[in-house]
Amino acid sequence: MKTEIGLLSKKELLDIFVHHRVDSPFPGDWESIFKGPGYEFWGLREIEPGDTYKNIDWKATAKTGQYYVREYLAESYYNLMILYDISESIAFGRKELLQANIAVSLAYSAIVANNGCGLIIFADSVREYIPPRMGISHFMQILTAIVRTTPVKCLETRIDQSLGKLVNQVPESLTFILSDFMYPLDFTFNFQRAAHGTNKHEVKALQILEESEIELPPDSQGMILLYDSENGEQILLDMNRRIKFNRDRQQQLHRIKHRLSKAGIDHVILTPRDDFRLKINAFMKKALYPSIIRMGRS
């Protein structure tokens, strides 16, 4: 049987980083997701308007009859940005603790790898902004901000303003959005990878959920009162309708993933029962793997 992993309380998070030396839980080479000026070969893609002929791979071109250009990995330094949801729905179950554990781990990993790290706390608006900087004292500023924040009531969670803050204030970044995404995704920004690396933000969505928000267990019985912390609505759910509820919930999760994907944002779900370090590392490893160009047969 799968057992729930231990999560540190916010007080324990603060104490362990103040008084103890800890190891970084994440690798320091996530910067290789960026493509741009550099020396390490990344992969091939079809030529686009504006590409220089000096980057054409003539062997691939001769093989396929189509023009392909080479892409290279950018320089290794990057800013890691954390967009941190504090709307009231995050207070459900252990989501708030899981989100805090993940955010602090990400921030610490960036700092010990000598990269910049910043934080945007949001709900219905941007509640706090800490620009990206390096150094352990800056990490402590981020840690303190995460520890002292609590979920807030708001009529509607709005992620668009925090994405606007990111795009307008940070030159480039590897960004993680930590949220349950239990609100309309009405943002206008698009982070699809553009030619020549013109999009300077690589954005990943870490959806923080309780397992019961994904699927109700098969042995569920009786009645349960569901409360929507975003709009205050209450629904009394008969567990005999569990199958329909689970189906509707899966469709909703699919819509969230599809909306994020359309905006160029990769997505993974994390629950308190997951080992978030292993799951995020696997998620990032998948994102790092270069696309394989299938060559036509000669």
8-state DSSP, 294: P
Q: Return the pLDDT at 61.
A: 84
Q: How many CB atoms lie within 10 A of CB 201?
A: 20
DSSP letter string, 131-173: EEE-SHHHHHHHHHHHHH---B--SS---HHHHHHHHHH-SSE
Q: Residue 59's pLDDT is what? A: 85
Residues 210 and 108 in one domain: yes
- Quote the pLDDT of residue 291: 36
Same domain, residue pair 151 and 262: yes
Domain span at 62: 39-72
Q: Does some domain include residue 177?
A: yes
> Does residue 100 lie in a domain region?
yes
Answer yes or no: do 119 and 200 share one domain: yes
Residue 260 lies in a domain: yes
Position 2 in a domain: no
Q: Is the model's pLDDT at 292 over the cut of 70? A: no
d(CA 65, CA 61): 5
- Same domain? For 61 and 169 the reply is no
At residue 212, the pLDDT reads 86
Phi and psi at 101, nearest 5°, equal -60, -45
Q: Residue 293: its pLDDT value, please?
A: 31
Q: Is the pLDDT of residue 290 over 60?
A: no
CATH number at residue 215: 3.40.50.410
Residue with tokens 């699919």: 254
DSSP-derived letter for residue 227 is E
Q: What is the pTM of this model?
A: 0.77
Q: Which of 18, 47, 72 is the last residue of a domain?
A: 72
The region that residue 226 occupies, defined by phi over 0 for left and psi between -120 and 50 for alpha, beta otherwise, is beta
Evaluate whether 95 touches 210 at the Cβ level (below 8 Å): yes
pLDDT digit string, tens, across residues 238-289: 666 677 878 888 999 999 999 999 999 999 999 999 999 999 988 987 765 5
Q: Are residues 58 and 144 in the same domain?
A: no
Does residue 164 share a domain with residue 236? yes
Q: Higher confidence at residue 52 or residue 232?
A: 52
3-class SS at 96? helix
Q: Nearest-CA neighbor of 101 among 8, 214, 229, 5?
A: 8
Alpha-carbon span 283 to 197, nearest angstrom: 22
220 domain-assigned: yes
Q: Is residue 22 part of a domain?
A: yes
- Range of lowest pLDDT (106-110, 229-233, 278-282): 229-233
Q: 145-181 pLDDT, tens per residue?
A: 999 999 999 888 999 999 999 999 999 899 999 999 9
Query: What's the rounded Cα separation, in Å, for the pair 124 and 138?
Result: 26
Cα 29 from Cα 245, distance rounded (Å): 41
Of the chain, the percentage scoring pLDDT greater than 70 comes to 76
In the predicted model, what is the mean pLDDT of residues 215-243? 65
pLDDT tier at 55 (50, 70, 90 boundaries)? confident
Distance in angstroms (rounded) separating the CA atoms of residues 178 and 105:
12
What average pLDDT does range 214-218 have in this prediction?
A: 78
The answer to whether residue 113 is domain-embedded is yes
Residue 230 has pLDDT above 80, yes or no: no
**Are 37 and 75 within 8 A, CB to CB?**
yes
Q: Which two tokens stand for residue 161?
A: 């303003």
Who has greater pLDDT, 271 or 226? Answer: 271
Structurally, how many domains does the chain consist of? Answer: 2
Q: How far is CA 240 from the centre of its chain?
A: 35
Residue 3 forms part of a structural domain:
no
